[in-house]
Structure 1
Amino acid sequence: MTPALLHHLILAVADDMIAHADELTELDRAVGDGDHGINMKRGFEAVRADAGSTAEKPLPDALKAIGTQLVMKVGGASGPLYGTLFLALSKEIAPDASNLPTAFAKAVEAVKARGKSQPGQKTMLDVLAPVQTALAEGGGDLSARLPGVAASAADATIPMLATRGRASFLGERSIGHMDPGARSSALIVASVCRALED
């Protein structure tokens, strides 16, 4: 993990999140309070502004810096949840990312604990958990497969009944809409994989 590659990865994720802010906001209007895209854009604009200095850090420290920015800048439930994902990953990941599957599994567990939720409740975990499973299974074509895994998992939230988060207040009306957090999680996975393939 060179500083140049890390810089490329940070910019790829931040630029995609900023570019999809309107889409995420529209998704959140259907099931939440309509601020997911705005909040994620604000958070990743801050991450992008610090990309140069962050990329010079060892990978664990870089992930900690990103997680801290997201906690501070992203409002709503998403800030603490995404912050937890990156901060937990920073504590577990090896500097060369050689233990990514096990580190990511610990990070997903941390998100479950922070959100007091499980896969199947129409949240970002419905993407993170299948991605974790695919990482654990391994294979040489992971960066080619993972975006599809994540996108399919996000699509699978559409028919779900939300039982956690703000969408759960809608009851049956939450059915038929993609979860915004699942979509933003899938976007991050796709951005990282695409940047690694560049």
Structure 2
Amino acid sequence: MLDADFFHRWMTRATDLVSREADRLTDLDAAIGDADHGSNMRRGFAAVTTALAEEPPKTPGAVLTRAGRQLISTVGGASGPLYGTLLRRTGKALGDAPAVTEQDLAQALGEGVAAVAQLGGAQAGDKTMLDALLPAAEALGTSFGAAREAADAGALATVPMRARKGRASYLGERSIGHQDPGATSAALLITALADTAGGAA
């Protein structure tokens, strides 16, 4: 069973990974976006860690709901609402249970990803964070390790895609050949989850 401490550690690990990879995220965003994705995500997850430490939520759902709310209020651009929606909707789907199963999380994450798709109007193949999140949510029903592999593969698969949503879509054909920064940061979030679970395969 996965308790509130597990989810708190997931968010802490995500903060570490985003901070470590922030420059790479910004470099990716410089090619097809505003060159601020790394700094925005680093600031947002640092704020999440602070908020969770100040008053630790007592249930998995509450951890994700608070984290999502913090991202919405801290991260600029489209990333804040999208990541905030992902975590808040996942947290809401988990409800008030003091602990949840991996299957519970897989189902809840699926609901969170669907909410992101609805908010952004994107789908698989549009060269967005969904290209990492959709396969990851599906694979999570198998294992944490499978989810991480699916997210990484999904992010890498955005390189040859032409962006159809977001700022990168303005570039048309010039968006081809660049890995999507949103898919890359989404893969980091799933990697943090797998790391927290001990890389369970």
Name the TM tier (shorter chain): over 0.9
Q: Which residue of 2 aligns with 1:123?
A: 128
2:173 is matched with 172
Post-superposition Cα deviations, 1:105-161, rounded to whole Å, max 9, x if no partner, equal 1111100111011111000000111112212xx33xx12222211111100000000
Secondary structure at 2:100's aligned position in 1? coil
**CA positional deviation for 1:93:** 1.2
Given that 1:151 and 1:183 are in contact with CA atoms closer than 8 Å, whether structure 2 keeps it comes out as yes
Among candidates 126, 133, 137, match of residue 132 of structure 1: 137
- Separation in structure 2 between the aligned mates of residue 166 and residue 182 of structure 1, nearest angstrom: 14
Counterparts of 2:185 and 2:178 in 1: how far apart (Å)?
14
Q: How far did 1:3 drift?
A: 4.5
CA contact (8 A) 1:121 1:160 kept: yes
Report which stretch shifted further, 93-102 or 69-78.
Answer: 93-102
Cα distance between partner residues in 1 of 2:56 and 2:135: 28
Letter in 2 for 1:152: A
Q: Which residue does the alignment assign to 2:100?
A: 97
Please point out which of 107, 112, 118 is paired with 2:112: 107
Give CA-to-partner distance per residue, 1:16-61, whole Å, 9 cap, x none: 1111110100000000010100100110110121232454421111
Residue identity opposite 2:117 in structure 1: K
Task: Answer whether contact 1:72 1:79 (CA < 8 A) is retained.
Answer: yes
**Unaligned runs of at least 5 residues, structure 1:** none
Q: More displaced, 69-78 or 57-66?
A: 57-66
Q: Matches of 1:149 and 1:110 in 2, distance apart? A: 20
Q: Partners of 1:55 and 1:105 in 2: how far apart?
A: 25
Residues 136, 146 of structure 2: 8 Å contact kept: no
Q: Indicate whether 1:49 and 2:50 are aligned.
A: yes
CA distance in 2, matches of 1:133, 1:4: 24
Counting matched residue pairs gives 194
C-alpha displacement of 1:162 = 0.2
CA deviation string 1:59-100 (max 9, x = no partner): 111111100000000001100000010111111015323312
Gaps of 5+ in 2: none
Q: Which moved more, 1:45-54 or 1:177-186?
A: 45-54
Tell me the secondary structure at the aligned position of residue 122 of structure 2. coil
